[in-house]
A and B are shown apart, each in its own frame.
Chain A
Amino acid sequence: MEPPAEVVHWLFGVGFVFLSLCLLAEAIVGREVWRRRAWRAYLWPGIAFLMGVLMWPVMVFYTSSAIHMLAHSTWAQVMMLVGGAQLGLVRGKLHNPLWELTLPLALLVSGLAFLIHEQNPWLFSRSAFLHHALGWTMIAGTVITLGRAVQPRSTAFNAGFAMIMVATATLLFCDRNLAPIFGHLSPLAGGR
């Protein structure tokens, strides 16, 4: 009894909402205050890693096409990479600050995966629109997180990263299996 694809997207949206609240709170209080309790420091990297793990069953059970499967496995890998690298940095197992670059790398790869695996134009259907919007949101996130890697204590970059996660959650909540976008739905997608 598999959940419909749109329901899975909404569930990941819930994960992104919680992730963004953690990131926003960290941006407001500052990294020192946020990390005063060890469990809190592990919270968002842990959630990112868990969401990466949960992306694997999505990849396995929603194999509508090969390119779709590849995209989901790419997201699973990069989310686990970011979560793992951040956990390593917080724990002190990883020392090189260049590991921070895994975050912009993950967003760039995720954005490209969205844009490449969506074969249809923006107004083909709501799903197509959301894929394009999510792709470009991730690309914008790449720029912001590059700034964050250079200036880790910048409130603007940290809050910007949190807002990218809010935008991602919002776009995921908008997803429907088949729905028009601004009144457009291609006949090829099932419209009239």
Chain B
Amino acid sequence: MDAELVRQRARARTRHSWRHTAVSALGPLTALVGLVWALIQPYRITLLDPDKHSFWYLAVQPPLFVILVGVVFHFWLVPGLLGDLEEVEEHSS
């Protein structure tokens, strides 16, 4: 009886886990997009050639900002969100 309950619960958890995976992937995917962008357009990374650029072009480098947004989102927002998601999925299963 207990084993059956455990199996049902595991099945239910697997059924909902795509949300968990998708939310967990958002930040890393965003950072990956920023990284690929930096590799495709290295001239956007003005820090590689700092003497040729003015302050604003050194301060604002979109590929690095996209990576930063992905990292901040992943480490600041996602952990609490996943905790709440797991709690809701536990209750509904």
State the Cβ distance, B33 to closest chain A Cβ, in Å.
Answer: 9
B73 near A1 (CB under 8 angstroms)? no
A28–B62 Cα distance when bound, in Å, is 26
Q: Inside 8 A of B72's CB, which chain A residues have their CB?
A: 18
Residue with the highest number of chain A CB atoms closer than 10 Å, among B22, B56, B70 = B56
Residue in contact with A28 in the complex, picked from B23, B66, B73, CB distance below 8 Å: B23
Q: Count A-B pairs with CB separation below 8 Å.
A: 65
A18 near B69 (CB under 8 angstroms)? yes
Interface of B is mostly: helix
State whether the Cβ of A21 lies closer than 8 Å to any Cβ in chain B. yes
B81 near A3 (CB under 8 angstroms)? no
A82–B24 Cα distance when bound, in Å, is 28
What total of chain A residues lie within 8 Å of the partner, measured CB to CB?
Answer: 24
B65 near A14 (CB under 8 angstroms)? yes
Q: Which residues of chain B from 76 to 93 have a CB within 8 Å of any chain A CB?
A: 77-78, 80-81, 84-85, 87-88
1/0 per residue A1-12: CB within 8 Å of B? 101100100110
B56 near A40 (CB under 8 angstroms)? no
Residue in contact with B77 in the complex, picked from A1, A3, A17, A25, CB distance below 8 Å: A25
A33–B23 Cα distance when bound, in Å, is 12
Q: Known contacts being A17-B30, A18-B69, is A7 close to B85, with CB within 8 Å?
A: no
Q: Inside 8 A of A192's CB, which chain B residues have their CB?
A: none
B23 near A25 (CB under 8 angstroms)? yes
State the Cβ distance, A47 to closest chain B Cβ, in Å.
Answer: 12
B56 near A3 (CB under 8 angstroms)? yes
State the Cβ distance, A130 to closest chain B Cβ, in Å.
Answer: 14
Which B residue sits closest to A174, measured CB to CB? B62
State whether the Cβ of A173 lies closer than 8 Å to any Cβ in chain B. yes
A22–B87 Cα distance when bound, in Å, is 20
A40 near B60 (CB under 8 angstroms)? no
State whether the Cβ of B55 lies closer than 8 Å to any Cβ in chain A. yes
Q: Inside 8 A of A24's CB, which chain B residues have their CB?
A: 26
12 A-B Cβ contacts within 8 A?
A1-B55, A4-B57, A14-B62, A18-B73, A24-B26, A25-B26, A25-B81, A28-B23, A29-B23, A33-B85, A36-B84, A40-B81
Interface residues of B (CB under 8 A from A): 19, 22-23, 26-27, 30, 55-57, 60, 62, 65-66, 69-70, 72-73, 77-78, 80-81, 84-85, 87-88
Interface residues of A (CB under 8 A from B): 1, 3-4, 7, 10-11, 13-14, 17-18, 21-22, 24-25, 28-29, 32-34, 36-37, 40, 43, 173
